[in-house]
Structure 1
Amino acid sequence: MDPSRTRGRRAPFLRRTTVLAVAALAASLALAVPTADGAVGRGSRSTQEPGVTVSLWEWNWRSVARECTDVLGPAGYDGVQVAPPQNSLKRTALGNGSDTVLHPWWEVYQAVSYDLTSRMGTEAQFKKMVKTCRRAGVKVYVDAVINHTTGQGSTSYGGVDYTPYRYDGLYGPEDFHAPSGECPSSDGGIQDFNAKAQVWNCNLVGLEDLRTGSDDVQAEIAGYLNKLIRYGVSGFRVDAAKHMPPRDLDAIYSRLNRTKDGVKPYWSLEVLPGGPGVLRPEAYLRSGDVLGVDGARQMQQAFKSYTADHTGSLSSLEVFGAAAGLTPSGKTVSFVTNHDSERNDAGDYLNYKDGATYVLAHQWLLADGYGSPQVYSSFAWVTKDDSPPARADGRITDAVCGQGWTCVHRDRGIVAMVGWHDYVGAAKRVNFWTDDANVVAFSKGNRGWVALNNGTAPKEVRVQTGLPGGRYCDVVSGAEQAGGCTGTVVTVGSTGFATVTVPAKGVVAVTRASRL
């Protein structure tokens, strides 16, 4: 949840054969046969924590299901994060002279009821999508809006009407902080984002703040989340978690059932940086993982703020993760951008409009391995409020890559690095080399080696790969085929050194499994 908005809200190691199959997919994005029903994804940590996920933000349920089968499962993505599925505000008129989008993206972040009739589809379509994705080996993670309800309107996509603080059969005024007299500000909204009583008990940009400490409210929220778990959902991104005390989040989580994989659901919290003590992301680490917003900012500074004196160069990422002041890797969902940060007014984060640089940043994140990496793939936009491709009534149409949908997750270089990331697993980063500007290279133990070039010209490097001598097929530019390589071949000498030309805005990556 972005507090600056003024209108609503916005695996186990892979076997050699599997690695080669992923490399082939990176070259062709060919279809593959899904796994048995109920199969889980290929996370490299535990059954609860995800491996590489993709946020198919505001894709409709039919499109997510198709993508799980055709692309995500074969490519090795462990999971997919989907938009909030609950019934939400449906605007019927523009608000004012500067309001030009009838159905902005943030409609889905204004909850009306916990029925699963949304812009993305029906409850039956949602259930089918989850089942289809699980059959393809892809877990589903839901963006959960549980801090608040709406801030405007009176009509929803599910046909439920409402008035301020009154949602028939669900919530009444006694279930909200402001009407209950628990918000200390003069207007019921957050006036001081450093005051915990306001951040936790007042309305965020007009959104009606639920009394999440109430037993009745907790029961309603847990009932909604448990329904999603029964349908096969594996975990949640908790929207606006910073606006709920950790104790409330813990109480809700304690009511949640185990998933179909037999574990408690994954729980990642949107706690934006800034604020003192109890309002910082670090204060929420005992309650769940947190979103790596600061890491996304550091990547933007490294990839896009490069200057002649090397300030902000790619080489600065030699120190990244917890050593660079970020939250611990094992407690962080890491990403290049998300739906809030890509719309940042100051341009502090990368987005799809950065083209090759955006792709390269994703490849860096997958190579470095900080956090649980998430690839962000959504729709093209001009203004910050733009709707995803939709019908006149606001319902989102099927995703067609290149027709309003960016489909960055299909980029062959990103797909290749998903497989590389899964293969090297948690191996330690060693043999780091840099030209002190925009080229870096490093090994992951003795499992794999990678070089990245954020410069505008190819760069020849001679570096230690940490691999045994031999010829290796670059998984980014090609794949092993009939004993040969369709792309770049990296020749490693007996001492582990190799001389390699790294393409401009490009990557060369090999693993022990890609040895010819």
Structure 2
Amino acid sequence: NQFKAMMDSANKYNVKVIVDVLPNHTAIDHTAVLPALDEAVGGHDKLYHANGFTPIKDYNDRYQCTTGEMGGLPDVNTENPDFQHYYMTYVNDLLSLGVRGFRYDTAKHIGLPSDPLDSLAARNNFWDVATGREEVKGLRLAVPADSLFIYGEVLQDKNVKESEYAEYMDLTASAYGHALRTVLDKADFNADSLLNWHHPVDGKHLVTWVESHDTYANEHESAGLTDEQIRMGWVFLTARQNGTPLFFSRPAGSTRENYWGNNRVGARGNDEFKHPEVVAVNKFRRSMSGQPETIATADNGAVIVVSRGNAGAAIINLSSEPRNINGVDTTLPDGDYTDAVYGSSFKVNSGKLSGQLDPLTSYLLYR
């Protein structure tokens, strides 16, 4: 009832909701599984893979990765038709309430048709059922998959079948996020390659991020970057033509010395998602839909300009120093421009952009 009330409210504002789903694990204490789930799948012994309580030792071994216990979480037999029917009943219930997309957590731990079979599985067909290609026991995805936004958390590694997963859904661009963080840390666009997606899948089908909950919380790989650096990365990702950017909201009250801040389950994060530059580039992205991108740099990679056809441009100063740019390439028409965030003035003359930039600040120009 609470979820329905939220969906009804979101619908009034034309906000679409994506549900984070985790079909392939239960809690560490598997004896706490409710009897209704055990009954639905034919008994508790039918709920898990035969290998489901064997800890994964090699994440690049596809049999271990798709059937074994991850982080203490036992692995569900997602190939059991009774479980698939139970799961799709849940999915269709969400769709009936207005849900219009799904994020599949730990998606690379659910087997593909080409992966090794668990001894309790007849076919690796979970993804065919989940995306509506197949029915299970007379039940099928209630809404066509191509009308939903579905993506999988398929973190990249040595032996991950990105291209096969991409036949079913969009994927996370984890390697691109790592490259972007390198650029932010060095304040140099040339510190890594950001002109390719570091992925075999086209950018139109990738979910991009500057950082994720994993990179922030697990070993704090990205937690040392300042909020300003993260913001510059966000403006770059969001101003681009392709990729679907995902904003990680850091815990409220967090600092570079205290990563957790006032962390509470269910509480919103800090106010960075409301920062004027974040709000402005989100609106910029919508208004630039369909416009081709051109990326240029200045000051030895410290400044990035993402031009979108002749309609607009994002200017990003990655450095902690003010910059005076003079003659950066842009596809904007000649003329005088006023930035949409701070009201700063810029000029374009013969396809060259000039203006003054504050440290770790971004600017958005419209034709």
Q: TM-score, normalised by structure 1?
A: 0.61
Which residue does the alignment assign to 2:153?
A: 270
**1:501 is aligned to 2:367:** no
The 3-state SS of whatever aligns with 1:129 is helix
Give the Å deviation of 1:316: 4.2
**1:148 is aligned to 2:33:** no
Partners of 1:177 and 1:154 in 2: CA distance: 12
Which residue does the alignment assign to 2:116?
A: none
Which residue does the alignment assign to 1:96?
A: none
- Tell which deviates more after alignment, 379-388 or 218-227: 379-388
Give the Å deviation of 1:364: 1.1
User: 1:257·1:264 contact (CA, 8 Å) conserved in 2?
Assistant: no
The 3-state SS of whatever aligns with 2:17 is strand
**1:208 is aligned to 2:87:** no
Partners of 2:262 and 2:19 in 1: CA distance: 20
Partners of 2:315 and 2:258 in 1: CA distance: 36
The 3-state SS of whatever aligns with 2:333 is coil
Which residue does the alignment assign to 2:10?
A: 133
Partners of 1:209 and 1:265 in 2: CA distance: 26
**1:220 is aligned to 2:86:** yes
Identity of aligned residues (%): 22
Partners of 1:218 and 1:489 in 2: CA distance: 58
**1:251 is aligned to 2:129:** yes
Higher relative contact order (CA 8 A, sep 6+): 1
Partners of 1:385 and 1:497 in 2: CA distance: 44
User: 2:152·2:169 contact (CA, 8 Å) conserved in 1?
Assistant: yes
Which residue does the alignment assign to 1:304?
A: 185
- 2:173 pairs with one of 274, 287, 292: 292
User: 1:464·1:498 contact (CA, 8 Å) conserved in 2?
Assistant: yes
Give the Å deviation of 1:169: 4.1
User: 1:376·1:408 contact (CA, 8 Å) conserved in 2?
Assistant: no
CA 1:289–1:138: 2 relative to 1, 3 Å = same
Partners of 1:384 and 1:208 in 2: CA distance: 29
Partners of 1:449 and 1:265 in 2: CA distance: 30
The 3-state SS of whatever aligns with 2:307 is strand
- Tell which deviates more after alignment, 336-345 or 408-417: 336-345
Partners of 1:167 and 1:449 in 2: CA distance: 52
User: 2:217·2:223 contact (CA, 8 Å) conserved in 1?
Assistant: no
CA 1:244–1:229: 2 relative to 1, 3 Å = same
CA 1:318–1:271: 2 relative to 1, 3 Å = closer
User: 2:346·2:353 contact (CA, 8 Å) conserved in 1?
Assistant: yes
User: 2:173·2:199 contact (CA, 8 Å) conserved in 1?
Assistant: no
The amino acid across from 1:425 in the alignment is S
User: 2:236·2:314 contact (CA, 8 Å) conserved in 1?
Assistant: no
The 3-state SS of whatever aligns with 2:251 is coil
Partners of 2:259 and 2:295 in 1: CA distance: 42
How big is the alpha-carbon RMSD for the aligned residues of Structure 1 and Structure 2? 2.8
The 3-state SS of whatever aligns with 2:353 is strand
CA 1:387–1:504: 2 relative to 1, 3 Å = closer
User: 1:417·1:476 contact (CA, 8 Å) conserved in 2?
Assistant: no
The amino acid across from 2:240 in the alignment is D
Give the Å deviation of 1:387: 8.3
Partners of 2:295 and 2:158 in 1: CA distance: 37
Partners of 2:214 and 2:40 in 1: CA distance: 29
The 3-state SS of whatever aligns with 2:103 is strand
**1:364 is aligned to 2:219:** no
Which residue does the alignment assign to 1:176?
A: 47
User: 2:241·2:291 contact (CA, 8 Å) conserved in 1?
Assistant: no
**1:196 is aligned to 2:62:** yes
- 2:316 pairs with one of 431, 448, 452: 452
Which residue does the alignment assign to 2:108?
A: 242
The amino acid across from 2:206 in the alignment is T
Give the Å deviation of 1:148: 1.3
**1:469 is aligned to 2:334:** yes
- Unmatched 5+ residue regions in structure 2? 113-124, 133-139
Which residue does the alignment assign to 1:74?
A: none
Deviations 1:296-317 (A, max 9, x none): 11111100145xxxxxx22446
Give the Å deviation of 1:195: 1.8
User: 1:369·1:426 contact (CA, 8 Å) conserved in 2?
Assistant: yes
How many residues matched? 343
Partners of 1:387 and 1:244 in 2: CA distance: 34
The 3-state SS of whatever aligns with 1:188 is coil
Partners of 1:349 and 1:142 in 2: CA distance: 25
Correspondences of 1:387-402 after superposition (within 5 Å): 388-389=263-264, 396=266, 399=268
Correspondences of 1:27-46 after superposition (within 5 Å): none
The amino acid across from 1:490 in the alignment is F
Q: TM-score, normalised by structure 2?
A: 0.84
CA 1:268–1:442: 2 relative to 1, 3 Å = closer
Partners of 2:321 and 2:82 in 1: CA distance: 61
Partners of 1:378 and 1:384 in 2: CA distance: 8
Partners of 1:420 and 1:258 in 2: CA distance: 31
Correspondences of 1:67-146 after superposition (within 5 Å): 124-146=1-23
